[in-house]
Amino acid sequence: MQLSLSVRVAESFRNKRNLTIALPELAAIAQNAGYKALCMRASGVGTHSPTERIREVQRLIKKHDLVVSMATGDFAIPENGPNGPDSLRHITPHLDLADALACDLLRVCIKTDADIANAQRAADEAAERGIRLAHQSHTQSLFETVAGSLHALQRINRPNFGLIYEPANLALCGEDYGPETLKRFAPHLFNVYLQNHVPDPSGDMPMTTWVRGAVHSTLRPLDEPGGIDFQRVFDGLHAIEYTGYVTLHHAFGGDLPPDRAAIRAANFLKCFF
């Protein structure tokens, strides 16, 4: 397994369009903390970015001996609203971005059954360019539950369309995220996202789900006990012999400066490798 740092960590929890840590600083933090890749998001560079900005990011990634593990090309995808699936109807700019970043994996968004055919067409176009598409385990999507995720993947039925396993979102939906789930996900697993965002009746973060309605939650420090059981997560990953990227998707925040938070998170996760 290889450790990747998501640009999500440099965004505020509720605003996914602006960076609180500039990309050059984040890349240096990633390199110094031992991450091998950045998971790029539109807040850093996206399909809206001018060519010179994309080239600037290319140079920055190379300067810090990093690669791009995955790219999310627009803001609508992680915001997970009605416009989230728009990229599936016009995937070419996203594929161009992936090529420019030397990345073979793009995150996409599917909200309804009507998006399935668009996902198939997008995957077929991506396959012509050696690029894969993936959907995150995520609330308010066809990938809220384990069964729903597998059903959607079966319907899409494209070898280059897979899953980003994210145990926190599964937990928010009341789903098991341990070794048995990973065994079922194994044939489709393209990436792993990790954050310690858990259901909590007294939590101050109400999250909307389709299967459970509103769920109160708390974002805990990554290594704080009582949240996501990362031992079960990695037991499952080792059992299926997963060798891809494990991406820290957890907002830094808190009392630690970003560089120390990145090192602490990396050291915590590497204990399970």
Model confidence at 250, in pLDDT bands (50, 70, 90)? confident
**pLDDT tens figures, 194-214:** 999 999 999 999 999 999 999
**pLDDT tens figures, 118-166:** 999 999 999 999 999 999 999 999 999 999 999 999 999 999 999 999 9
Rounded to an integer, what distance in angstroms lies between the CA atom of residue 189 and that of residue 187? 6
Domain boundaries, the chain: 2-270
Residue 255 pLDDT: 58
Amino acid at 273: F
**pLDDT tens figures, 87-115:** 999 999 999 999 999 999 999 999 999 99
Rounded to an integer, what distance in angstroms lies between the CA atom of residue 263 and that of residue 32? 8
CATH code linked to domain 2-270: 3.20.20.150
**CA nearest 193: which of 135, 249, 132, 261?**
249
Q: Please, is 86 exposed, middle or buried when counting C-beta atoms within 10 Å of its C-beta (0-12, 13-18, 19+)?
A: middle
Residue 240 scores a pLDDT above 90: yes
Judge contact between 99 and 68, C-beta under 8 A: no
**CA nearest 94: which of 44, 45, 23?**
45
Strand partners, 180: none
**pTM > 0.75: yes or no:** yes
Residue 260 scores a pLDDT above 90: no
Model confidence at 17, in pLDDT bands (50, 70, 90)? confident
